[in-house]
Structure 1
Amino acid sequence: MNATTAPAASPRTADSAPLTFDERLALAALAIDARIDTEPLNLDDVIRQPAEPHRPATSNPYSTPIAALLHRARMRIAAVGWCQAAAFDEAGAVCPIHAIRQEAANRGQADDACVLLLETIERDFGDETIPAWNARQPNSAPVLLQFDHAAQLAHSRNL
């Protein structure tokens, strides 16, 4: 027999059962450990983490009410999911208009935010309604981007 086909030496006697997988794995780990050069770890070479982990800003970057509302609606869609052809679905995903209505303090604020979102949609895509534009989107990325554009527009107009 050559080295590749020779049975491994077993601490058990010939009449006992063969080694289990876990036992063979433990023996292989010990053999590998014996071959590894185990120099002590130099802690000066270790990258140290900051004492306080970085937390992303959760505050709204907009101080104007409609811009802040559009940002909150965008964050809602990003958090719970986006849907088409319905205001919301059974999983909790929402359409753009429903996200705005959920985040608005009142109906007038929601209407103002929808008008601004529609203005950016008409400018960028030529669609005449938010639902028609929403139905044509392949995924949530363009929807979230359009909310960013609308929030920036509201902010620039001090709305």
Structure 2
Amino acid sequence: MPTITCSPATRAPAPAALSFDERLALAALAVDARINTEPLDLADVIRGPVNTPVAPAPQPYRTPIAALFHRAHIRLLNGGWCASRLRDEQGARCLIGAIRAEAGSRSEADDACVLLLDIIRDEFDPSAETIASWNGRQRDGHMPARILGHAANRADARGI
């Protein structure tokens, strides 16, 4: 039987190793080839009037004291916070000033302040004697605004 001899297979030369920058450039070219680079026409995307004023959000609370705390919270955020007086020259208000400004009556403001002092004592500062004294110890309006938001949640949970 004749022997068959095979010539060794011819191998392709091994490719030269690519540097990181070369691989990155190739990857960028591959991505560019897949992306449609036509400019985006915003007229195709925007479908409504752009400069229409945003309607105010509906009141999130159904109970009167919770709604009062929420309005006072918004007043403090938008109008500013102050200490040692109900209202300063720029229109900023303390906690009690914001509550009184938003309350429908003095008795509603008083009821809200009684609850607020209880919340301050229960959750933030057991030694607080009054809302005004606690408000006066704050460095800025962050905590007073936060406590009004928290009080709105608590009042709503209690149904008041």
Place the TM-score, normalised by the shorter chain, in its bin: 0.5 to 0.7
Report what 2:159 is aligned to.
158
Q: Structure 2 matches for 1:101-116, cutoff 5 A?
A: 101-116=100-115
Q: Which runs of 5+ in 2 are unaligned?
A: 1-36
| Cα deviation 1:128-159 (Å, max 9, x = unaligned) | 21011101111111111100111111101100
Question: Which amino acid in 1 is paired with 2:61?
Answer: Y
Is the aligned partner of 1:48 residue 2:57?
no
Report what 1:15 is aligned to.
none
Report what 1:125 is aligned to.
125
Question: Structure 2: how far apart are the matches of 1:108 and 1:120?
Answer: 18
Question: Structure 2: how far apart are the matches of 1:89 and 1:56?
Answer: 29
CA shift, 1:98, in A, is 1.0
Report what 1:18 is aligned to.
none
Is the aligned partner of 1:92 residue 2:95?
no
CA shift, 1:89, in A, is 0.6
Tell me the number of residue pairs that the alignment of Structure 1 and Structure 2 aligns. 120
CA shift, 1:86, in A, is 0.8
Is the aligned partner of 1:62 residue 2:80?
no
Q: Which runs of 5+ in 1 are unaligned?
A: 1-39
Report what 1:71 is aligned to.
70
TM-score by length of 1: 0.67
Larger Rg computed on CA atoms: 2
Distance change in 2, residues 1:50/1:119 (3 Å) = farther
Question: Which amino acid in 1 is paired with 2:150?
Answer: H
CA RMSD between the two structures? 2.4
Distance change in 2, residues 1:50/1:96 (3 Å) = farther
| Cα deviation 1:98-119 (Å, max 9, x = unaligned) | 1111111111111111111111
CA shift, 1:58, in A, is 2.4
